[in-house]
Amino acid sequence: MQRGGKWHSGRRPDGAASDAAATSAAQPRTSSTDRAGPATGILSGVTPSMAQFLEIKTANPDCILWYRMGDFYELFFEDAVIASDVLGIVLTKRGKHLGEDIPMCGVPVHRADEYLQRLIRRGYRVAVCEQLEDPAEARKRGSKAVVKRDVVRLVTPGTLTEEALLDSKARNYLTAVFPLPAPREAPPSARKLALASIDISTGEFEVGEISAADFPGEIARLAPGELLLPDSSFDDATLAAPARHISAATTPVPAVTFDSMSGERLLKERLGVSELGGFGTFERGELAAIGALLRYIDLTQIGAKPAIRPPRRTGPSDVLLIDASSRASLELVRSTSGDREGSLLAAMDRTVTGAGARELASRIASPLADLKTIAQRLDAVAFLLERATLRDDIRKALRAAPDIARAISRVTLGRGSPRDLGLIRDGLAAGRTIHSFLARAAEGMGLAGDLRSIADRLSHIDGGLFEHLASALIDDPPHQKKDGGFVRPGFRSDHDEVLQLRDDSRRVMASLEARYVEATGVRSLKVRHNNILGFYIEVTALNARPLQSPPHDDVFRHRQTMANAMRFTTAELEEAEGRIAAAAETALAIEMEVFASLEAEVRASERALGEIAAALAEIDCLAALAELAESEGYVRPELDAGTGFEIRGGRHPVVEQALKAQKAGPFVENDCVLGRPDAGALPEPETSGARPPGFDETASGRIWLVTGPNMAGKSTFLRQNALIVVMAQMGSFVPARSAHIGLVNRLFSRVGASDDLARGRSTFMVEMVETAGILNQATERSLVILDEIGRGTATFDGLSIAWATVEHLYEVNRCRALFATHYHELTTLARRLPDISNATIEVKEWNDQIVFLHKVRSGAADRSYGIQVAKLAGLPPAVIERAAEVLAVLERGETNGKGRSRSKSDSPVVAAARGLDELPLFAAARPKSFVPQRDQPSAAEAALAALNPDEMTPKAALDALYALKRQLSEKG
Ligand code: ADP
Ligand code: MG
C-alpha cells in the first residue's frame, strides 16, 4: 500500500498529477529532500530495514518521516538534523549508509503530541509511519525479517485532530481555493474564486464563491490553518499573500484534483446521499474546490474518513463583508498585537465550553446581513436574558459538557480513546439535561428564535447510544485503550467472570506465599512481580539456603541471583501466573470488543451526534450573549432594511470594560446619528427622554466629520460605532441605550497610520491602497469609518486627498461614514454639502491644562490643542513655550496673508511661514528657559526668603550671608 514509489525531489512536478505529487508540500522549509541522504539512494546493497525506510521516505518526500521503532519514532538523515534543531533533541548516529554515518534522533511515543505540535507550528509536515504488526509476528518469518510498516497518516497544519495540537477555543480550517476560469479579456477585479473549508476536528464545513477582491477579507475571516491552492496558480501572489499574512501554511495540490464531477461524487459518498438537493445548490466551482479538499483529506488521512457535517453555503449576499485590513483594525478576534486579549472577542466571551467559544469567534468573524436570521438569534438571546434561572441552569449543565465535536471526530477517524467515548457520553448527558430545561421553559409560550431548532436537535439524542456508553464505560475512562481497564464492572458477564478468575488467581498467589513461608520457615519470603520475570519468589541472599537444599530444592527452581537477593519459581506459581495472564488477555480482548462496538455505534450516528454537538455550541454561545447583555447592560438593536443609523448612548465594548477593570472612571456614552431612518422603516423613537441633553439632533448627516484634539476620543468613537454594527449583525445585544441600524452590507475601517513593513509598503502607500479599496467598493448600504487619512504626506497633499475622499464618499459611494480628521479646513465641507455634519469631542481648558470630556457634540473643534497634549506627554517646558510662540506667529501670518493680496502661487502656509523669518532663534529668544526649570525653590532660596533684614543685627546679617554662601558652595 505504498503510494508513489518513484523518487522525486521536493520541487513541484509541473502538471504532474500522481497521488504522490499531490502530497508535495508548499513549505519550503519542509523540502528537506533536496539534500537528503536518500536522494542518492540506490536500494541495492543496503540492509533490508534501511531499504524499507528509504522506500517509505521516497514515497513521502516532503514530509518529515517519523519511523516507528518500538517505543520511539525515529528520524533519520536530514529529517533528524532538522528535528533535532527544531525540537532541541540530541542528534546521534546509527550505522552507515553508502559509507557515511546516518544522523538519527528519536521522539518517545508518549511525548509524540508535544513534539508534533512543535514541528507543525513551525510549518513542517510529518508522515507518521507505524509498525503494522507485532515484531514477534515478523520474527516468525525469519530472524532477518523486517517488521511491516507504513505511513498511516500525514500530519499537516490543516488536518489536526488531537486535543494537544489544537486550540480548544479556535477553529482549524483546511481551505481549498479554486480560481474560476475567467475570459481572458475580463479585468482582474472580475475574477471569482470558489472556497471550500473543513475543520476535520469537528466536521464543520462551509463553501462559497467570492470575488477576487474580497479574497483577503475572506481568508482573514476563515483564518484557516492550511490553504490548498492548485499547483498551476501556486505562484499567484494574490492567492498566497493573504495566507502568509495570517501565517497559514499553503500547500500546492494538482490542479486536476479541482474537478467538479469528482467533487460531487465524493461529497455524495461522504454524506451518504444520492442527491445533493437537500443541502442547497452548489456551483460547479464550489464542487471543484470540495473535490480537491476531500481528495486531500483522503490523502493525508490515508483511508480514515473524518465525520463531516453537510456544507453550509456562505455567499456575499448573506454576510456582512469586512476586508482583511478593516478586520485587523477593528480588532475583532485578535488585537493588533496578535493576541486574543484586547479584542472584541475577548471582551464578549462569556462562554463556558471550548465549542461555545469557537462558535462565538466564528459569529464575530462572520456577522450576517440577513434580517431574519439575525432576528432568530436576537430572539433567543432575549429569551435567555429574561430567564435568569433557565440561563444559569443551562450554563451549569454546559460547564460539565465536554468538547464532543472533537471527540466524535477522533472516534470516527479511528483515533478515539476510551476517554473520547466517555466525553461523548457526558456530552449527551448534558444535552439531555439541557433539553429537559428547554422543554420546561417551552411550556406555555413556547421557545423563541434559534432555541426552537436547538431544542429540536437535542430531542433527537439517541437514548440507546447514551445508555450503552453509560453502562459500558467506567466514570473516568483512560486516554489509552491498549491497557484496557475502561469497561464498567457488571456490563458484560463474561468480562466479569475473567476478572473474577484473575482476582482469584491473585488470591492464589497470596496463599502460595503464606504456604511457602510456612514450609521453608523463611519469614521474609515474598511473591513478587516485574515485567521481565513475571511472578517470582524472592528471598534475601542469606535466606536462600533452605530453598536450595532438600527437600525444597525439588520445588524451588532458581531463576536469578541479585546482589542481596535470590529469585525462584515453582510449578504452581507458573501455573497460577499462566491463568492470570490468560484471564488478563481474555479481559483485554473483551474490552477491545466493547470498544469496537461502541466506536461503530458512534460512527453510525456520526451525523446526528454532529448536530447535537452543534446545538450545544450554539446554546452556549446564545446563553453567553445573554449573560453579557445582562452584566454589561446592553440593549437589543433594532435592525431594518433602510439606511438609517441611530445609536443613542453608545459605548465602546472593549474600552468600557478596560476602564472598569482599571477603575479609571466611567466611559462617556455618545450618540451617533447618520442619516435619517427611511420613512416608515422605524416607529417614532420613544427614546427622546433618554437623549443626553445638548445633542444637536438636526445636525445629523450621512457623513460626520469628527474633529477634536488628540486623545479626545475620536478613534474610540469611530470604532465603537463600527463594533456596534458587528455586534448587532452577529446577533448580539449592543452597548448603547438604543440602536437602530439599517442593515450594513459592507463595513470598512481604516484606522490610524500603521506601517506594514512586513509587506514592504510604507505607511502612506498602505493608507492609499486601503482608501482606494474603500472608494471602489463602498455602496449606499455600507458603513465607512476613516480615521485621519492623508497624514503620511505633506500637509497640503494630505488635506487635498482627504477632501476629495470625503466628496467621493458623499457623491459616489453615498454611504454612511464617520471621518475623523485633523484638518480643520475640511469642516467647511459641512457648510457646502447638506448631508455632511461636523461633530467634535469636547475638551475644557483649565489652568492652561487640557481636560478631556470625551463628549461628542455637533460643530467643529475650535483648535487642535496639540501643544497642550504635547505638554501632557511631558515635552520639556522650553519646547512647549517655543512651540506656542511659533504657533502664534503662524496663526498671525495666516490671517495677515488672507488680508493681503498674495500671489496665486503663495499658499497660506508659505504666507504664514514668512512670519517665521521675523522670529528670533530658539537660543536667542529663550536663554533662560534653556536651563531646566525647577519646581521647588533651592535650599539657599528658601533660607533667603525666610530672612527678615529689618529684624537682624549686623552680626546676624553677616552670619546669614556666610551661611548662604556655604549652602551654595556645598551644592556646587
Ligand atoms: P483620539 O483618537 O481622539 O486621539 P482616542 O480615541 O485614541 O483619542 O482616545 C484616547 C483615550 O481616551 C482612550 O484610550 C480612552 O481611554 C479614552 N476615551 C476615549 N473615549 C472615551 C469615552 N467616551 N469615555 C471615556 N474615556 C474615553
Ligand atoms: Mg485617534
| Distance, CA of 748 to CA of 778 (rounded, Å) | 8
Which one of 715, 716, 721 would you pick to mutate in the ligand 1 pocket, going by the greatest count of ligand atoms within 8 A of its CB? 716
Instruction: Give residue 562's pLDDT band: very low, low, confident or very high (50, 70, 90).
Output: confident
Report which of 726, 617, 163, 728 is spatially closest to residue 359, judged by C-alpha positions.
Answer: 617
Q: Are 766 and 803 in contact (CB under 8 A)?
A: no
Closest ligand to the CA of 718: 1
Looking at residue 951, its pLDDT comes to 85
Residue located via cell numbers 487640557: 850
The CA–CA distances, whole Å, from 663 to 96, 348, 631, 666, 854 equal 68, 19, 16, 8, 17
Looking at residue 355, its pLDDT comes to 95
Digit-coded pLDDT (tens) for 122-169:
889 999 999 998 888 888 888 778 899 999 999 999 999 888 888 889
| Distance, CA of 232 to CA of 354 (rounded, Å) | 38
Helix (H) or strand (E) holding 741: strand 738-742
Ligand 1 atom at shortest distance from the alpha carbon of 716: 6
| Distance, CA of 459 to CA of 456 (rounded, Å) | 5
SS3 371: helix
Helix (H) or strand (E) holding 538: strand 534-540
Q: What is the mean pLDDT of residues 71-77?
A: 93
> From the CA of 853, how far away is ligand 1's center (Å)?
9
Residue nearest to atom 20 of ligand 1 (CA): 713
Edge-to-edge, what's the strand order for the sheet holding 645-650? 638-640, 738-742, 645-650, 670-673
> From the CA of 652, how far away is ligand 1's center (Å)?
10
Which region among 215-219, 648-652, 800-804, 844-848 has the lowest average model confidence (pLDDT)? Answer: 844-848
The runs of H, that is alpha helices, within 900-946 are 908-917, 922-925, 939-946
**How do 670-673 and 783-787 pair as beta strands?**
unpaired
* All three cell numbers of 321: 463583508
| Distance, CA of 297 to CA of 289 (rounded, Å) | 12
Residue 184 has pLDDT above 50, yes or no: yes
Indicate the pTM of the whole model. 0.79
Residue nearest to atom 19 of ligand 1 (CA): 713
- Close Cβ partners of 336 (under 8 Å, ≥ 6 residues apart): 328, 329, 754
* All three cell numbers of 590: 473483551
Digit-coded pLDDT (tens) for 600-612:
999 999 889 999 9
Looking at residue 1, its pLDDT comes to 35
Instruction: Give residue 769's pLDDT band: very low, low, confident or very high (50, 70, 90).
Output: confident
| Omega of the bond leading into 546 within 30 degrees of 0 (cis) | no
Q: Which residues line ligand 1 (CB under 6 A)?
A: 655, 667-668, 670, 708, 710-716, 854
Residue nearest to atom 5 of ligand 1 (CA): 713
Which one of 329, 655, 717 would you pick to mutate in the ligand 1 pocket, going by the greatest count of ligand atoms within 8 A of its CB? 655
The CA–CA distances, whole Å, from 514 to 505, 508, 520, 537, 574 equal 14, 10, 10, 12, 16
Digit-coded pLDDT (tens) for 815-866:
999 999 888 888 888 888 888 888 988 888 877 778 888 999 888 877 767 7
> From the CA of 243, how far away is ligand 2's center (Å)?
29
Digit-coded pLDDT (tens) for 24-65:
333 333 333 333 344 444 455 678 888 899 999 999 988 999
SS3 315: coil
Digit-coded pLDDT (tens) for 372-413:
999 999 999 999 999 999 999 999 999 988 999 999 999 999
Report which of 723, 700, 732, 750 is spatially closest to residue 650, judged by C-alpha positions.
Answer: 723
Residue 687 has pLDDT above 70, yes or no: no
| Distance, CA of 790 to CA of 806 (rounded, Å) | 12
> From the CA of 374, how far away is ligand 1's center (Å)?
30
Exposure letters 208-247 (e unless 16+ CB within 10 A, then b): bbbebbbbbbbbbbbbbbbbbbbbbbbeeeebbebbebbe
* All three cell numbers of 461: 439524542
Q: Are 371 and 379 in contact (CB under 8 A)?
A: no
> From the CA of 653, how far away is ligand 1's center (Å)?
13
The CA–CA distances, whole Å, from 504 to 483, 501, 515 equal 20, 5, 16
> From the CA of 707, how far away is ligand 2's center (Å)?
10
